[in-house]
Amino acid sequence: MELIEFSYRHIDVEVEKLGEKFRFTGFYGEWDRRRRDSWALLECIKDKSRLPWLAGGDFNEILTHSGKVGGRRRAEDDMAQFRAALSCTGLHDVRPNKGWERMDRFTASRDWLLNSPQAFVSTVMTTESDHAAILLNSKGDDCIKGSRGRHKQFHFENC
């Protein structure tokens, strides 16, 4: 992994895995009316690398009201600005396993998605946070191989 750049809202790295390279950006979006600054940051860093791009984290915004359960409604203008930022940067939502309201998500460029067509995102519920952890599975299977070669259910250890 090689660091491209970072700020208090993101970290941008180039990753090489089995001879293939891609770019990963860990992202934390503004949570209040400064969300436009978050989208400007995404647009500013989009051309830092030409590699297939995966970006994930807490964007602090949803794309649409479909799947939203409870809570106050989001401003349509805020969601439209988020959709516009993703469109401008060429990022697309990675296929979620379920259609719940998601502020935490993975997004990817078209070339990253073409390299990992089976990729999907799952949520892992936790009692320690008001957010569900997100898990990206780029292979498209529901299990992770155990140490003896058999498949076992993935879960975090409580440390």
- Which residue range forms the structural domain that includes residue 86? 2-152
Please compute the mean of the pLDDT values over residues 117-139 and round it to a whole number: 81
Q: Does some domain include residue 28?
A: yes
Please compute the mean of the pLDDT values over residues 127-156 and round it to a whole number: 61
Q: Does some domain include residue 49?
A: yes
- In this prediction the pTM is 0.80
At position 73, the amino acid (one-letter code) is R
CA dihedral sign of residues 24, 30, 36, 41 = negative
Q: Does some domain include residue 27?
A: yes
Q: Does some domain include residue 103?
A: yes
pLDDT at 120 over 60: yes
Q: Does some domain include residue 159?
A: no
Q: Does some domain include residue 158?
A: no
Domain containing residue 142: CATH number: 3.60.10.10
In contact, 42 and 84? CB cutoff 8 Å: no
From residue 140, alpha-carbon distances to 11, 73, 96, 111, 122 in Å are 26, 33, 11, 17, 11
- 3-state DSSP assignment of residue 79: helix
Domains of the chain: total: 1
Phi-psi region of 22 (alpha: psi -120 to 50; beta: other; left: phi over 0): beta
* 148 confidence band (pLDDT: 50, 70, 90): very low
Give the model's pLDDT for residue 65.
79
Beta pairing class for 144-145 and 133-137: unpaired
Residue that is written with structure tokens 């979620």 in the block: 96
Residue 87: alpha-carbon gap to chain centroid:
15
What H or E segment, with its residue span, contains residue 41?
helix 35-45
Residue that is written with structure tokens 């440390």 in the block: 159
